[in-house]
Amino acid sequence: MKLIKIDQQNWNTGIEKAKSAYRVFGPVKEKNDYEFKVLGTNEMPDLNFRNTRLSPKSIIYPQSQVMFTYSIDETKDDCRIMKEVENVTSPMAIIGVRPCDALSFPIVRRNFDTPEYQDTYWIKAYEATTFVGLACNSACDTCFCTSAGTGPFGEEGLDVLIIKDGDDFYTKIITPKGEAFAESAGWGKKEQTDITAKIKELKTAAEASVSSTVSTDKLKNKTILDLYDAPFWEEEAFACINCGTCTYVCPTCWCFDVQDETHGKSGIRMRNWDSCMFPLFTHHASGHNPRNNKYERVRQRFMHKLKYYVDKYDSGIQCVGCGRCIRLCPVNIDIRKICDKMNSFDTESCKCEATSS
Amino acid sequence: MKEYTEKIREIAKRLLNDGTVDMVIGFRKGTLPMMNQPHIATCTDSADELMWDSNCGLNLANYVTDRKEKIGIVAKGCDSRNLVTHVIENKIKRDQLYIIGIPCSGMIDHHKITAMFDTDITSVKESGESITISGNDFSKKLIKQDVLCENCAACTHRNPVEYDELVADLVEEQTDVDPYESVTEIESMDAEEKWNYFEDLISPCIRCYACRNACPLCYCPTCFVDESTPQWVGKSQDPIDVRTFHLLRAFHCAGRCTDCGACERVCPMGIKIREFTKKLNKDCLELYGWEAGLSLDERPPLDTFKTDDPDEFIK
Ligand code: SF4
Ligand code: SF4
Ligand code: SF4
Ligand code: SF4
């Protein structure tokens, strides 16, 4: 790992230079909110953002992605043959990934890159990408990253971490990918500087600014069925409108649905994000739906993130504490509250009365 | 608003205790400022969580669809109009409902207020007509009237139209407002300008369907966008499909929409979806003299006909 200090001038020229080797993405203000966009010539990432409204997951894993094309023209030889679309990704660099969002990529990787199953679309995009993170000097009220396996200066999932101090950019080069990026930005020859003490100071202040915490320590030892049958689900799920916002904005939600669309004689097979909050998600062809009730869907989302994932991978929760679902849920279903309910749930002492729906 | 809260709790407990209702649907305080949560109270303890302030903008009629129990429900003007619409459309029976009417002075626009400040808002306190917004290093007083939701600012039915009991005296209705100001503006555009306006309007849509799901009118067992045999609408971000969703949904709401604003309130992308429904509301008013949900005895113009209809096609 190498620590260098970059001034505003060098930052601007570096980002501009990197654009010749990478497709560079960065936060840009759109209407009222920030979004990750490809940066054009002379366009700089706007680092005044707190976090983007949607997470950067769509850069690696687009909401709609074409995988195959086909023809249904009987006069053609290749009629009804699925042809894979070209799946090559040129190098990309995402500037300004917040540490919470950075951690989501290794989490999602556990699903898309396993010894038995390789999702080549996700893997190729992931491998082609350099993650240039931006430390948070102060956290939002809804962030709970320090309870979710990272923190405002967290490095997991990042190739470079930028720490902004006034006009200076303290740059931590973490991986070889990060080194290659620094090289192409022209920062490669910069001398290592001793800014460790300064960074430590900023980090301590940033961590102290995280005002919200949740407890996850007891989740692992709970019995799945105890939590599944806990009486609070119906009451907590009452307000939910099953809109799926929480899962679409979440950096760690990975579910998709495969669809064919035919226009005239040709068609595409694509995948689109799906959501466990939609009744259609589990609707069987027979008409049966094993998760027919709203509370069952709400329960699924939280059980997956906070129990099944915890048990399966033994690497913490499937949530990075970015707080997006809390900020954007239209009916204020708050994962912090549910997580605390699950973590402290005790079959013996539970006297709460379930409400029916 | 404290008086409203106390009165709601008092009524709810009475109704639950004397068995008039099985549950009372209202709002409870959320975990974030300006975010209250729809709440179902079935016992006196949970009835004590019920509350009221200017952040109860979701439409509670959405939560009674097809329910079988006897339900006490807290309803401001627009909720009551959607309850009336529900009764007319057989989604609930009038005698299943005990409507706790809220004379409403408008809800505040949390999107607008959030956008006014660069940092987190940690508390929002109301007192009479003023709202105090505070964060870690600031505090600012706003006039409630200036930060009302757009539909509330132009609302002409603040009092519930149908109720069994009121929590307070009726409020004065607004008369000098034009709910259709923006529609008139769009109507004056030429075709290309209109096209561009609507393209820009829905361009951020992620098709989460929060707008549909928050709307009490959208109760179809299978929405046309979810239908798979045959599949009417594609599932990707293809602009044709996004447009189809918005236009068809709006038409399904024609003559039924009360302009409660729930759809807009819940959109995570801040899209002004009411620009579609408002046009149809205006048409219904101009063509049929109709506003939705004002009477239990009249059916909406698009599911009825009159023998003296001036148009030829009906005869
Ligand atoms: S929890 Fe909230 S955001 Fe998620 S589906 Fe339910 S209402 Fe929508
Ligand atoms: S569950 Fe919510 S807080 Fe956790 S990563 Fe997803 S959006 Fe962020
Ligand atoms: S709530 Fe907003 S983003 Fe979601 S489908 Fe409706 S308009 Fe689109
Ligand atoms: S379309 Fe929107 S404004 Fe109209 S009734 Fe439905 S939620 Fe309310």
Residue with token string 């048990």? A311
Report which residue type is found at A172: K
CB B151 within 8 A of CB B277: no
Torsion of CA A153, A156, A160, A162, to 10 degrees: -10
Which chain A residue has its CA at the smallest distance from B30's CA? A332
Q: Between the CA of residue A127 and those of A57, A113, A122, A154, B55, what are the distances in Å?
A: 14, 11, 9, 20, 45
Q: ipTM score here?
A: 0.90
Proportion of chain A in helix, strand, coil states, percent, rounded to 5: 30, 20, 50
* Whole-angstrom distance, CA of residue A134 vs CA of residue A131: 10
Helices (H), chain B: 2-17, 44-47, 77-88, 110-116, 150-153, 181-187, 191-202, 210-214, 239-252, 262-266, 274-288
Output the ligand 1 site: residues, CB below 6 A: A 240-246, 277, 329-331, 333
Query: Which residue's alpha carbon is at the smallest distance from atom 1 of ligand 4?
Result: B257
CB B274 within 8 A of CB B182: no
Q: B31–A272: do the CB atoms touch at under 8 Å?
A: no
Give the long-range contacts of residues B300-304, CB within 8 A, separation 24 or more.
Answer: B300/B85, B300/B88, B300/B255, B300/B256, B301/B255, B302/B254, B302/B255, B303/B255
Q: Using one digit for the tens of pLDDT, what is the confidence trace for B66-100?
A: 999 999 999 999 999 999 999 999 999 999 999 99
Average pLDDT of the residues in A71-92: 92
* Whole-angstrom distance, CA of residue B20 vs CA of residue B13: 10
- pTM score: 0.91
Q: B37–A280: do the CB atoms touch at under 8 Å?
A: no
Q: B39–A63: do the CB atoms touch at under 8 Å?
A: no
Distance of CA A274 to the CA centre of its chain: 15
Q: Using one digit for the tens of pLDDT, what is the confidence trace for A252-285?
A: 999 999 999 998 999 999 999 999 999 889 988 8
Q: CB-based contacts of A317: which residues, under 8 Å, 6+ apart?
A: A148, A149, A216, A219, A305, A306, A309, A310, A339
Best interface-test mutation with A: which of B24, B28, B37 has the largest number of A CBs within 10 A?
Answer: B37
Q: Using one digit for the tens of pLDDT, what is the confidence trace for A89-114?
A: 899 999 999 999 999 999 999 999 99
Q: If you measure from the C-alpha of residue B302 to the centroid of ligand 4, how many angstroms do you get, rounded to a whole number?
A: 17
Q: B235–A257: do the CB atoms touch at under 8 Å?
A: yes
Give the pLDDT score at A352: 47
* Whole-angstrom distance, CA of residue B235 vs CA of residue B225: 8
Q: What is the SS3 assignment for B289? A: coil
- Is the CB of residue B123 less than 8 Å away from at least one CB of chain A? no
Atom of ligand 2 nearest to the CA of A324: 7
Looking at the predicted structure, is the pLDDT value of residue B230 above 90?
no
B165 beta partners? B100
Looking at the predicted structure, is the pLDDT value of residue B248 above 90?
yes
- Is the CB of residue B203 less than 8 Å away from at least one CB of chain A? no
